[in-house]
Structure 1
Amino acid sequence: MRISTGQMFHQNTTSILQKQTATNKILDQLNSGKKVNTAGDDPVAAIVIDNLKQKNALVGQFVKNIDYATNHLSMAESKLGSAESLITNMREQLLRGANGSLSSVERQMVADEMKASLEELMSIANTKDESGNYLFAGFKTNEPPFAFDSAGAIVYSGDSGVRKSIVSQNSNVATNVAGDTAFMSAKNPLGDYDVNYLASQQGDFKLTGASIVNPATHVEDTYTFSFVANGTGVDLQVTDSSGTNVTTVPNFDPNNPVSFNGIEVTLSGAPVAGDSFTLEPKSEVSILDSLQQAIKLLETPEATNTPQGKSKLAQLLNSIDSGQNQVSTARGIAGNNLKALENITSNHEEELIINNSALSKLEDLDMAAAFTEFEKQQLALNAVSSVFGRVGSLSLFDYL
């Protein structure tokens, strides 16, 4: 078969270019350390590699969200732990100040200590995060959630918003605890009504419960309980806010609950004729308000040595305990969310290990095999180039 000079040059050039392409491909692989650098290298593997990298990128974003949530929840958990300790200390201060052997000056000193502690507790409740946002303000993170109003009462200007962070494809986790959940909405230890003891109280008694037992017949109102002498004991008269008599209990026995308008009230102790107190609807108490009331009680001369003061003290101690339980519950919410984040983080770490292992099998280059192949391709390229150089220089005139 006759081979023209042009055909010979074309075939040799094509062969050299193929060997150069193969050599360059191996060089690219050696430089990158990957055997799949473009979709043309292995289309099926390239698709799988792209999917795995997208999954890893998504997991990486989840991990960043988890870091953000962990930082905020750790700060909240720590601050709520400090609040718990502070409340415990203030309760002990209240009991110390309520000691009847203390003088009014000594009692005022205890009250001043409690004021300083309350300010510290307010500071905790108004904690800012690393971005300058208020930690316990719900969604209203740009303004202090807790403050004293013009009357000296503590008010909450935040909301109940719970910010959430997406931490996996199928779950999100709360990254904050709202201030009302932590400090303002503790369960009233008495039930659904709160008591107001009057200065005229002479008997040694206290309210132990005031709950709605029949919502269908319940009439919400402010009720006054008055004890009236009957010759052998006392009768109890209950009136509503308009002064209308609601019920009368002759020969009142504190061992028996009083029921009216869907409400059940229980007392302990021994009220005497002339004693009176009022009930008003209130199902929640604030630990901040309770502590502020405790300070006012200590600042009232001889308040804790009177029947009214003793009853108020018992009520406040119960409210403080309920408020502390609320703070503990809020701390538990933060702690549980932190635990959930730890578990999710472990799942993400395992997923990354599996994905990276699959990626390694698909795209990582066997360096030893690649170097061997490179040497083979280079040798072939040199051989083709050498042959082409010799054949290309041949001429018929050399043999004439």
Structure 2
Amino acid sequence: MRVSSSMLYQQGLASMTNQQSSLLHVQQQLGTGRRILTPSDDPVAASRALEVTQASAVNDQYATSRKQANINLSMESNTLTSVVTTIQNIQTLVVQAGSGSLSDADRASVATELQDNYNQLLGLANSNDGNGVYMFAGYQSATPPFATNASGAVQYNGDTGQQLLQVDVARQMPAGDDGRSVFMSVQGTATYVASAPAANTGTATYSAVTVTDPTNPLYGHNLSLNFATSATTGKMQYQVIDQSAVPPAAVVAPVDYVSGTGIQVAGLSITVSGTPANGDSVSLQPAQQAGTDIFANVQNVINALKKPVATDADRAALANALATANRKMSNSLDNVSTVQSSVGSRMQELDALNTIGSNRTLNYTQTLSGLQDLDYYSAITQYYQKQTALQAAQQSFMQIQGMNLFKYLQG
């Protein structure tokens, strides 16, 4: 095979160019610390690195969502702590108002304190995050969730929506709670509430309702104790009416009333004392049906304390109103405390997910390092090898360049 001088030059130059390119590639690897500079360097590893990078980016987004959820839940937790304190203050004032030594003026003073706590509670219910987002408004977070209507009652203008944040691969977490579930609801385990209609004229008062047998067939029904004088004996009697039946029906035959004796009915126990008037009644309602609006409950107490107390019937009506209010406030407190516990549980879960997310980030980082990072010892060795190869190619080219027949002819 005949080898021309031009072919020698071309091959020599090509060899040096290839060696220079290889040396430059190693120099770039050393400069960046990366083994893979282009996908062609290692297609399989490059593809795997892309998948890991994408998974790491998604994991970082989960971490951002968890951070936002934790901020929202922390603000809600702080607000609910203040709500609990306010409710406890209201309960203390309700108990104080029941003292028989208070005058009308004293009760009016207590009503004023209750009004202050009522306003504070309403302000807490309309709390926002400082950016105009109301935390208890559901999806209607741009407007205050609670407002006073024309009749003076507080109404809820939000909805029951909850902002769900994707805090992990398979976990969407509510980043807040709506105002209706916090301030206008009670737990399913809340006990019965006893109440007396304003039309009562007797002096009968009642104790709190206790549950004795939740398996009773009538447990959970709306009941009433109706008092009436027996036409036969002239004695005061009571009859239990199931108001949940259609139409309402008597549960048992009329029973002679004895003041201070416990009344057992539908798995419940209640003690009525004093002298009821003919036609008086006492309602026994499940907590969910007895009025769950905490604002309405406080307002009812304020209204009751503002009424003058002149007769025994007035005193009985006030005592019953306070007893009903105290039970409802206890149910509301239990509900808020349950929501607060739920918020705390979610924050604990976020802490656990943060730990998992951090470990996942570490795994991704280690995997990417194994795929992409440069082995400096091997790269430096390659650098010197390729540098030597380039120098050898250059020297070889210089020698080949001197192999020219014209050089000898000229001599």
SS at match of 2:256: coil
Is the contact between residue 304 and residue 318 of structure 2 (CA under 8 Å) also seen in structure 1? yes
Is the contact between residue 205 and residue 267 of structure 1 (CA under 8 Å) also seen in structure 2? yes
Identical-residue share of aligned pairs (%): 24
- Name the amino acid aligned to 1:313: L
Query: Which residue in 2 is equivalent to 1:23?
Result: 23
Query: Which residue in 2 is equivalent to 1:294?
Result: 301
Is the contact between residue 134 and residue 143 of structure 2 (CA under 8 Å) also seen in structure 1? yes
- Name the amino acid aligned to 1:252: Y
> Mean alpha-carbon deviation: is it higher for 94-103 or for 70-79?
94-103
Cα RMSD over matched residues?
3.2
Alignment of 1:70-89 (within 5 A): 70-89=70-89
Q: Distance in 2 between matches of 1:12 and 1:205?
A: 111
Query: Which residue in 2 is equivalent to 1:10?
Result: 10
Alignment of 1:1-400 (within 5 A): 2-187=2-187, 191=192, 195-196=196-197, 198=199, 200-206=201-207, 208=209, 214=217, 225-228=226-229, 233-237=235-239, 246=250, 248-253=253-258, 254-258=261-265, 266-274=269-277, 276-277=280-281, 279=283, 282-302=289-309, 306-399=315-408, 400=411
Q: Distance in 1 between matches of 2:385 and 2:220?
A: 96
Q: Are the structure 2 counterparts of residues 104 and 40 from structure 1 closer, same or farther at C-alpha, using a change threshold of 3 Å?
A: same
Which 4+ runs in 1 deviate beyond 4 A? 187-190, 192-195, 209-218, 229-232, 237-248
Q: Distance in 1 between matches of 2:170 and 2:239?
A: 59
Q: Distance in 1 between matches of 2:263 and 2:124?
A: 44
Unmatched 5+ stretches in structure 1: none
- Name the amino acid aligned to 1:228: T
Unmatched 5+ stretches in structure 2: none
Measured after TM superposition, the shift of residue 65 of structure 1 is: 1.1
Taking structure 2 as the reference length, the TM-score comes to 0.85
Is the contact between residue 225 and residue 238 of structure 2 (CA under 8 Å) also seen in structure 1? no
Measured after TM superposition, the shift of residue 270 of structure 1 is: 2.5
Measured after TM superposition, the shift of residue 279 of structure 1 is: 3.5
SS at match of 1:26: helix
Q: Deviations over 1:237-276 (max 9, x none)?
A: 56799999846514135434356xxxx7753133425151
Q: Are the structure 2 counterparts of residues 245 and 347 from structure 1 closer, same or farther at C-alpha, using a change threshold of 3 Å?
A: closer
Aligned length: 394
SS at match of 2:197: strand
Is the contact between residue 187 and residue 334 of structure 2 (CA under 8 Å) also seen in structure 1? no
> Mean alpha-carbon deviation: is it higher for 36-45 or for 359-368?
359-368
Is the contact between residue 187 and residue 284 of structure 1 (CA under 8 Å) also seen in structure 2? no
Measured after TM superposition, the shift of residue 322 of structure 1 is: 0.8
- Name the amino acid aligned to 1:251: D
